[in-house]
Amino acid sequence: MPKRRRNFHYDELEPRLMLTVTPNLSNSGLLTITGDAANNEVHLIGTGTEGSVAYYLEGVFQTTFNGVKSIKVDLGDGADYLEIAAVRIPKNLTVNMGSGNDQFDMDTTPNYGAHPDGSVRIGGNVKAELGGDAGDDVDWDSQSWGIQIVKNVTLTGVAFADLKGTFDSVITSNLSIQISRKLTIELSGQGNPSGVEVSMQDVNVFRTTTIRGSDQNDEIRLIDSRFENLNVDLKAGSDSILMKEAGMSDKNIIVGSATFNGGADSDLLDLGAFNTFGKGPKILGFETVNNS
């Protein structure tokens, strides 16, 4: 799925606009970013040292925080954008995007400043609530450096999500997107204009992955990824799960169990011929199943 980028162009800012987002670093190392009802654009960029985070607001450098152990972002209403780039912290990342057309971007190549490219490492959990509005998307791209989440990832209120690692094959590598515990994605039903609600490529999850669909038409694309256990529950709607690409020998590895539930309406499960299952998959509610 093409990576969505916003066109960054800024006029001279009035001083009052600099006060719409409030940062605070507590004595315990919790960096809190609090937004408002306006359209906020926040970039948190690693400087190359764990716990050192440069803060940009509306494309303008504000300050660098050192000793950051965990991050909490609450951007409120408005069409907000959050970039987490090359950040390394030892504890949790918690995000609430609020209402509005929002984007949560995680990558290894900062959009601003003379900061080095580098891996993202979150030593705790990542929990993000997108808000359940049209256009709310999660866009993670490891870009040859790697994204590592040491504990669980929970993404809720998501219209569409694109998680893309470095490689075009199943490789367990620090350059991939690696989630050491559970991954949970809950779709809102707002949909994706390009037609793919969840896309994962070169993603390694070492405990259970759960994808919960909506009552709308959801399309799930899983390519070149490794899952310990995989549960996909798509509820109502004419849904599809694609685990191959036309003309390519892409494969996924599911080490343990896999359950695919299409729910009501006319659903398609396209497994292809190259996926590896530790146990035979449990398939429920799919009218069409392809194995070639």
Say whether pLDDT at 41 is over 60.
Answer: yes
Round the average pLDDT of the chain to a whole number and report it. 92
Burial of residue 291 (number of CB atoms within 10 Å: 0-12, 13-18, 19+)? exposed
3-class DSSP assignment, residue 4:
coil
State the DSSP code for 232: E
The residue extents of the domains of the chain are 23-290
Which of 171, 81, 69 has the alpha carbon at shortest distance from 122? 69
| 189 compared with 247, residue with greater pLDDT | 189
11 or 57, which is more confident?
57
pLDDT at 18 over 90: no
pLDDT for 121-178, tens place per residue? 999 999 999 999 999 999 999 988 999 999 999 999 999 999 999 887 787 788 999 9
Q: How far is CA 206 from CA 92, 144, 180, 203, 211, in A?
A: 18, 20, 5, 10, 15
Tokens of 281: 């998959």
